[in-house]
Amino acid sequence: MTERVSPVCYCPPPSAGERRELIHVDCASHIYPDGSIGIHQMCFRVLEGEIVALCGPNGSGKSTLIEHINGLLRPSEGKIVVNGCSVGSSQAADLWKEVGIVFQRSDDQLFAPTVLDDVMFGPLNLGMEEGQARTEALAALETVGAEGLDTRLPNYLSGGEKRLVAIAGILAMHPKIIAFDEPTSDLDPVHSAKIEEIVRKLRDVYGISIVLATHDLDLAARLADRVCLVRKGSICAEGSPADIFYNETLISNTGLLPPAVVRIYRSYCKSKGLTADKRPLDAAGLIEAISNS
């Protein structure tokens, strides 16, 4: 685990044998027109095929960071390189093809008259002919389990259905990276589990790198290869989910509560007078840790 001491920038060069770096945010800051600081000396990277979780309290800069990595926002200072192209350079004009964002509010993303039109929009914009775009769109809807929704009107879908269609719309463009902004907010536990399964499948089957901004620390604990804690516009620590979520001081200094699984395990050990020396991150791990203690 690496803890960073503000305001020192921390952008290590890729180490030997490490997977390829797809996103490199080098000490980037963003000040909004009204003077609010969105991110401040933010250093962040995403490697090929990994799931990185961004966890931090409200207003810490997670969404602002995500909007920088597909060029929706430009840094006021610092540099962002995506798949070898510097954001802002002419080569990076097509960044939206490489990095898709699934926004927190699906209504911000869906606009076409039917679901199929909506999901076909990206492939058509990539220059595919209509038949191919249709095939890609139907395949993407099937991948997310929304194959029956193609003729529906996006406006009349439930929140969970809209989220699936929004993911299909991004997936149909075959991006290298997908950033999810609070993908499970407003969803019931069944739909949240579905999204979790989809995220895993996108990485494991399609090799897509995932950035996950979330307040759901249990989700991050189960899914992420690496967790970055975001505080006041910068990343204050990063490491494996177990290293981060079992560091009580760090989590509380960031203004967060540990995942429920961590709290339950600690309470159980405390009530039984046991040392909490295991680090379960999901229900199965928790049961195993408790039964073996």
Ligand X SMILES: Nc1ncnc2c1ncn2[C@@H]1O[C@H](COP(=O)(O)OP(=O)(O)OP(=O)(O)O)[C@@H](O)[C@H]1O
Q: Which does 45 bind (CB under 5 to 8 A by kind): Mg ion, ligand X, none?
A: none
Amino acid at 79: K
Task: Single out the segment in contact with ligand X by CB under 6 A; choices: 3-11, 31-39, 146-154, 235-243.
Answer: 31-39
Among 22, 44, 52, 61, binds ligand X (CB under 6 A): 61
**Direct distance between the N- and C-terminal alpha carbons of the chain, in angstroms, rounded to an integer:** 26
Q: Which does 56 bind (CB under 5 to 8 A by kind): Mg ion, ligand X, none?
A: ligand X
Tokens of 91: 């080569």
Task: Single out the segment in contact with ligand X by CB under 6 A; choices: 7-15, 60-68, 91-99, 236-244.
Answer: 60-68
Minimum gap (Å) between residue 293 Cβ and ligand X: 35
Taking the C-alpha atoms of residue 234 and residue 208, their distance in angstroms, rounded to an integer, is 25
Taking the C-alpha atoms of residue 292 and residue 167, their distance in angstroms, rounded to an integer, is 40
**Crossing angle for the helix pair 159-171 and 189-204, nearest 10 degrees?**
10
Minimum gap (Å) between residue 151 Cβ and ligand X: 33
Enumerate residues 29-68 that contact Mg ion by CB under 5 A.
62-63
**Are 11 and 43 contacting, i.e. CB atoms less than 8 angstroms apart?**
yes
Minimum gap (Å) between residue 59 Cβ and ligand X: 4
Rounded to 5 degrees, φ, ψ at 232 are: 50, 45
Q: In terms of CB distance, is 39 or 202 closer to Mg ion? A: 39
Binding of ligand X by 214 (CB under 6 A):
no
Taking the C-alpha atoms of residue 34 and residue 36, their distance in angstroms, rounded to an integer, is 6
**Crossing angle for the helix pair 260-272 and 283-291, nearest 10 degrees?**
10
Binding of ligand X by 62 (CB under 6 A):
yes
Residues 6 or more apart whose Cβ sits within 8 Å of residue 55 = 214, 215, 217, 220, 227, 228, 229, 230, 244, 254, 256
Tokens of 240: 């494996």
Tokens of 269: 């050990």
Binding of ligand X by 58 (CB under 6 A):
yes
Among 40, 41, 64, 73, binds ligand X (CB under 6 A): 64
Amino acid at 271: S
Binding of ligand X by 63 (CB under 6 A):
yes
Minimum gap (Å) between residue 213 Cβ and ligand X: 6
Minimum gap (Å) between residue 106 Cβ and ligand X: 15
Among 34, 151, 272, 277, binds ligand X (CB under 6 A): 34
Q: Which does 38 bind (CB under 5 to 8 A by kind): Mg ion, ligand X, none?
A: ligand X
Binding of ligand X by 60 (CB under 6 A):
yes
Q: In terms of CB distance, is 101 or 137 closer to Mg ion? A: 101
Q: Which does 111 bind (CB under 5 to 8 A by kind): Mg ion, ligand X, none?
A: none
Of the candidates 103, 13, 192, 179, the residue with the CA atom closest to the CA atom of residue 111: 103
Enumerate residues 36-55 that contact ligand X by CB under 6 A.
36, 38
Taking the C-alpha atoms of residue 163 and residue 12, their distance in angstroms, rounded to an integer, is 35
Binding of ligand X by 32 (CB under 6 A):
yes
Binding residues (CB under 6 A) for ligand X: these are: 32, 34, 36, 38, 56, 58-64
Residues that bind Mg ion (CB under 5 A): 62-63
